[in-house]
Amino acid sequence: MDLKRIAKDTSTVLISYLTFQAVKTVLNQLRETDPPRAYWLNAFSTKETLQDGDAYLTALLAEQGDLAIRIMTVRQHIAEEISEFLPEMVVTGIQQANMEHRRQHLERMTQLGDAEDVVEAELIQEPSADSDAPLD
């Protein structure tokens, strides 16, 4: 397991997600202050993929540099605000999710085991067709 590579990939995904959140924030601001520009940014964002935040910003810099800088500023602010508690939240979230998945799995296994026991008990207790016949 290459932990450095995993950390780098995670960082890349997180950066792209923060870019997406920054775009949403700027779009909401522009809808209130400059609707035509909000419309333009929304159209641009549907044309350019936000899966890769850096590629998105590169394309936006080529067309509307001031919007790209605004989004980068918002992205940096969001990153600075969440960086303090994000690592603990991730670890705690994974621990809780794993515990919940294990609990649900155990419940399903237990319920399946109980259902199999009930079916087996019913098969043992079912009288045969010959048992209703009178004894001679």
Model pLDDT for residues 50-90, shown as the tens digit of each residue: 899 999 999 999 999 999 999 999 999 999 999 889 889 99
**pLDDT, tens digit, 9 for 90 and up, residues 14-32:** 999 999 999 999 999 999 9
Which CATH architecture fits 3-82?
Orthogonal Bundle (1.10)
Sequence-ordered list of residues with C-beta below 8 angstroms from that of 87, at least 6 positions apart, any chain: none
Q: Where in the chain are the domains? A: 3-82, 86-125
| Cβ count within 10 A of residue 39 | 13
